[in-house]
Amino acid sequence: MVWFLPLMFCVLLGVPVAFALGMVGFIGLIDTLNYTAACSQIKTILFGATNSYALSCVPMFILMGELSFQAGISTDLFKAANKWVGRLPGGLAIATNFACAVFGACSGSTIASASVFTKIALPEMLEKGYDKRLSTGAIASAGALACMIPPSILMVIYGLITSQPINKLLVAGSVPGFMTAVAYGTGIYLAAKLLPHLVPPLTEEKISWADKFKSLTGVLPIAFLFLLVMGGLFLGWFTSTAAGAIGSAGALLVLILRKRFTWRVFFQTLEQTGILSCSLLIIITFGNLFSFVLSSSGGIDTFVSFITGLDMSPVAVLLLIISLYLMIGCMVDPVSMLIITLPAVMPVAEAIGYDPIWFGIIVITMLEVGVITPPVGMNAYTVKAVAGDSVTTGQIFSGISYFLFLQAIVLAIIIAFPSIVTYLPDLMMD
């Protein structure tokens, strides 16, 4: 496990994670074998990492998210959510929360969710008199739900690294993801009731049921697309890779039906998908090299023996792993966290007897936390970049702290009741 130290040193110096993994992995391979054998072995390792049909689902789900983003569904989602819950105390923030959750089910990108709803919702909330901390905290935290709510790219990467069925992981994330969205919405409502100065007074404007149902027309195509993809996965109609392709085709159809399709937009979407896919696949490829070095050097076996020999309860070990992710999440982005940590922590989880699907949800939850905690907190800085001088970084992180408390409650429930995660995947066919 000695190779973690130079890896983290390179990452903290600002070396791109892919290159850090590649350099440390190659040096470790030379140390484990020798230079000639390492040069020969590295070709096999890198080819084996990329010669996988399962990897094709990564660009497919990214393409689905990019096409959904171009379809401009975010505005319709926000308007629909606002019509349904807007008259509740803190209704605009609650609407933003649920719109972010649904948008995350289409885009799979935390940054995209935070950016889009900062543009759409934040000016309206500030204009109506919402507290800046509550407003920005809700946007940044709800945007992070894209980590969990399928089709989550992070869930796909977890499945690829740990050789777990991606279809079961995606289905497993649906209940915890929407449970977190409900917890955030409830938390906003309670904050508005207990601290009324955080939100403006309720208006007398009433919205008819006809208007409420009419607002759903813009959301129906995306709801159908989500149900098609997740329903197909759950019922075993198609694999995760096929689900990504079907989702991409459906998102393209939505783009066309909304009359937002142009060849320029289409090719820009393909270009962006290619850039994001390549960056992720490069990290995964060199992460495989690093994992090979850890396993071949005996470092993972030593680490597992050390942890299991501490005579700690399974819950104590889990809390130790959660603390590890909490610390690393303050320094490293989510994808890099998965690549760096899973080769070490997954064998520990398996040795203790944790369900790998359930454990994956715990890990992804900690990645949600990582994107909103300082100093990295990508979602917080995204909100700040889009909002400009209207809010401060301190106000954003102050608002996020409340949602971290709500996230901790959800995490505790998932740990106490694992069947919340495992029930639906257990119903699926292998």
Q: What pTM was computed for the model?
A: 0.88
Does pLDDT of 2 surpass 80? Answer: no
Does pLDDT of 401 surpass 60? Answer: yes
Give residue 10's pLDDT.
Answer: 81
Per-position DSSP letters for 337-394, written without gaps between them = HHHHHHHHHHHHHHHHT--HHHHHHHHHHHHHHHTTSTTT-HHHHHHHHHHGGGS-HH
Give residue 429's pLDDT.
Answer: 64
Over residues 101-134, the pLDDT tens digits come to 888 877 777 888 888 889 888 998 998 899 999 9
Give residue 337's pLDDT.
Answer: 84
Confirm if 19 and 11 have CB atoms less than 8 A apart.
Answer: no
Return the SS3 of 70: helix
Query: What is the C-alpha separation between 222 and 216, in angstroms, rounded?
Result: 10
Top-confidence residue, 65 or 325:
325
Peptide bond preceding 347 in cis form (omega within 30 of 0)? no
Query: What is the C-alpha separation between 7 and 2, in angstroms, rounded?
Result: 9
Among 53-67, 177-191, 287-301, 383-397, the least confident range: 287-301
Q: What torsion, rounded to 10 degrees, do the Cα atoms 147, 150, 153, 159 define?
A: 100
Highest mean pLDDT among 27-31, 114-118, 187-191: 187-191
Q: Which burial class, exposed, middle or buried, applies to 121 when counting CB atoms under 10 A from its CB (0-12, 13-18, 19+)? A: buried
Per-position DSSP letters for 3-59, written without gaps between them = THHHHHHHHHTT--HHHHHHHHHHHHHHHHS-HHHHHHHHHHHHHHHH--GGGGHHH
Give residue 354's pLDDT.
Answer: 93
Angle at 148 between CA 142 and CA 152, to 5 degrees: 115
Query: What is the C-alpha separation between 169 and 182, in angstroms, rounded?
Result: 21
Does pLDDT of 160 surpass 60? Answer: yes
Helices vs strands, H then E, count in the chain: 22, 0
Q: Which long-range contacts (C-beta less than 8 Å, at least 24 apart) are formed by 310-314? A: 314/352, 314/353, 314/354
Quick one: residue 141, left, alpha or beta (phi over 0 = left, psi -120 to 50 = alpha)? alpha
Annotate 379-388 with b (16+ C-beta within 10 A) or e (fewer). bbbbbbebbe
Q: Which CA distances in Å does 197 have to 278, 306, 331, 394? A: 47, 52, 35, 19
Does pLDDT of 60 surpass 60? Answer: yes
Does pLDDT of 186 surpass 90? Answer: yes
- Amino acid type, 149: I
Q: Which residue in this structure is represented by tokens 């949602």?
A: 403
Neighbours of 259 (CB within 10 A): 7
Give residue 1's pLDDT.
Answer: 55
Give residue 430's pLDDT.
Answer: 60
Mean pLDDT over residues 340-344, rounded?
A: 85
Angle at 8 between CA 37 and CA 318, to 5 degrees: 105
**DSSP category for residue 148:** T
**Binning pLDDT at 50, 70 and 90, where does residue 204 land?**
low
Over residues 61-75, the pLDDT tens digits come to 888 888 887 887 777
CA-nearest of 12, 58, 20, 34 to 275 is 58
Query: What is the C-alpha separation between 269 and 180, in angstroms, rounded?
Result: 30
Query: What is the C-alpha separation between 111 and 116, in angstroms, rounded?
Result: 8
Does pLDDT of 309 surpass 80? Answer: no
Confirm if 67 and 255 have CB atoms less than 8 A apart.
Answer: yes
Top-confidence residue, 303 or 381:
381
Mean pLDDT over residues 238-257, rounded?
A: 87
Does pLDDT of 411 surpass 80? Answer: yes
Tokens of 329: 């999440």
323: Cβ–Cβ under 8 A, 6 or more apart, which residues? Answer: none
Among 108-112, 148-152, 211-215, the least confident range: 108-112
Q: Which residue in this structure is represented by tokens 């906003």?
A: 188
Give residue 399's pLDDT.
Answer: 93
Confirm if 55 and 160 have CB atoms less than 8 A apart.
Answer: yes
Give residue 238's pLDDT.
Answer: 83
The rounded mean pLDDT for the chain is 86
| % of the chain exceeding 70 in pLDDT | 98
Radius of gyration of the chain (CA): 22
**Binning pLDDT at 50, 70 and 90, where does residue 140 land?**
very high
